[in-house]
A and B are shown apart, each in its own frame.
Chain A
Amino acid sequence: METYTGKSIFKGIAIGKVLFYQKGEQVVKRVKVQDTAAEISRYEAAREEALRQLNVLYEKALKEVGETNAAVFEVHAMMIEDDDYVDSIRNIIETQQVNAEFAVATTGDNFSRMFTEMDDEYFKARAADVKDISERLVNILSGRTDGQGDLEEPVIIVADDLAPSETVQMDKDKLLAFVTRYGSANSHTAILARTMNIPALIGTDISESWNGKLAVVDGYTGLIYVEPDEETLKELKRRQEEDLHARELLEQLKGKEDITPGGRSIRLYANIGGVKDVANVLANDAAGIGLFRSEFLYLEAEDYPDEESQFQAYKTVAENMAGKKVIVRTLDIGADKQAEYFGLDHEENPAMGYRAIRICLDRKEIFRTQLRALLRASAFGNIGIMYPMIISVDEVRKIKEIVEEIKKDLNEKGIPYGNVEQGIMIETPAAVMISDMLAEEVDFFSIGTNDLTQYTLAIDRQNMKLDNIYDAHHPAVLRMIRMTIENGHKHGCWVGICGELGADMTLTKTFLEMGIDELSVSPSFVLPIRKLIREMEL
């Protein structure tokens, strides 16, 4: 397997054979001619033929890929008739007494260089148009027809560069992806790829030796794998299916409400682990973010992240979500998530050890920095704050005191903050058992099913020996969830699930029947679950 990188123009995954696209480019010979008038009329006839071809291409493109993509052929027709271009060709034939092919090729080179030397990327890309019209003329003059338009099987087209007339002539059903060495994000090929929703990479170090080999183009990462190994192929096939599925669902379900036919509605949110995931949340049309794991800020850093860098991260997410809910979980470090600079001791039983809120309430300066950043960011969107690993009412009261202190300080300094909902993770059996009391203290609950299951069943999920007795649907866990929902509702809290069980589609109906208000799942699960909910008998 060989892997190469390019710049991705369109996100998508294509798997197929490579067709190395050979340019119809031939060496144009300089031939002396006696009868320059005859040579000029040969050229004039070729120009007429080129105009006719361009007109046909325009009509074809108009039907297949729309007006925006077709317009290029209109422009080509105008370029071919451009006074300077025409004069230059005639002039070369007459003064140098050479064949029309050579005059066209020389003129084409000169004009395309004029564009190549321009600063602006858009205008630079026009050099390809000049080359394209010149090649068309040379092909007509030398009696060649445009080859390679007919593709026998679906292929990934690999080429140095592709002219718009080349791409339009290709059979659209058989194009899987474009991979080119040259070209720009403004080139017609790039625009075409976007219109056709097929992955495309430019600036790739391509090779003719790929011809006929199996390859995978990953438009998400900008990689092409030539002769991928089995594992890569399998993984990318899976992602391709996911991708196609998501796209189909999106077509059907984008902008639709999360509501059952019987009128039971629910908020379907997404879980994220960093700022860059927001694009995925929006692409999958989630109604909000139900779990923004803030650990990345700490794990990616060499030292405690300061208030400003945290503020910027939270603000960016809040702004990008444009008023939709963003629930940030405060630092949940410890156990399996470690950052060196915290200097945490090795523990015999870290899952039950010094972690999450226990660290925050012990080393309050770390907690204050995060809370202050969150409150400041709340002025820029709809932020909620969620505290992990709660086991007592006392903890919640202490947290609320700190929040009040910070708010007071912000008030005094005239720093704005928004109306922030505060909630807790329900992930310990203790929190479930006192959920009626906890509900009096907070605005919402979010059930962290991963830890709750582990603590309830006393099963370490990392221990593979216990897989056979680990039952994600254990009635004890389901009863805990029901109890949490009932207690929450009785005491004015809304209740969601942000653990993996929330995305378990065999339980979605059960959760809805229990009265769950929100499910927060990986972005890729949002649309499948929306579909399920909208078709549910409830």
Chain B
Amino acid sequence: MASENGYANSGEYITHHLQNLQVCRDDAGEWVFGKCPGEFWALNVDSMFWSILLGLIFLFLFRVVAKKPSASKPGRWQAFVEIIVELVDGAVKETFHGKSKLIAPLALTVFVWVFLMNLMDLVPVDWVPLFSEKVLHLPYMKIVPTTDVNITFGMSLSVFVLIIFYTIKNKGIGGFIAELTLHPIAPPLKGPGIIAAPFIIAFNFILESVALLAKPLSLSLRLFGNLFAGELIFILIAIIGYFQLPLHFGWAVFHVLIITLQAYIFMMLTIVYLSLASEKH
């Protein structure tokens, strides 16, 4: 409830809940919280903390099984882990036809990690921020890392680097440049039309560069947008007082779908982009 928790109005409540706990150096060279808007060398401590914590939880939960996998007598947890592994493995094998030791584990990590980060959205919006404010004396605490564009962009940027790496690895630098310049309109190489070739190449380059750059951008903004909107609605529901309970429940049930779906989409698109990068035309 906005007014009871010392917020002047609901607007302040919302902005407070959407503010990351940022740390940076001020002009005097001291580390300060929450006074660094627009500065690049600032770190969203809460996003990083929860993201790494959830990543470690994922690694731990899966490592427990991977340490002593039993081929003949899998326990319940192993069976569950194997279901996920087989799901990811199936998706990778269906889409990616080359051989790569990286793509399947990458897809698994992305899927489970993003899913866990999205899952934090189901924790009631006031619990952790109140706890951190009253007990830890931290002014802000945003616990859903995927509602921070830095997190999703950091992931899609890694995927982008992999896309370029795979393109160059499988097609060579020449192939990479050719892909950027010789599609979708093939420039004429003979006859009088050759005068038009530079223009066509330039046109292709602009088009293909945008297409290439749109991949990481859309990948990160899709996840961020969905989760940010979901979180915002949770906050809005939290403002309305006691009637929030049925609404909150309804939205949470619906949001479970978004959480899973967005994690799955992020994984699938990662696989698709990487398989496009390694396929030869």
A pairs with B: no
* Interface residues of B, Cβ cutoff 8 Å to A: none
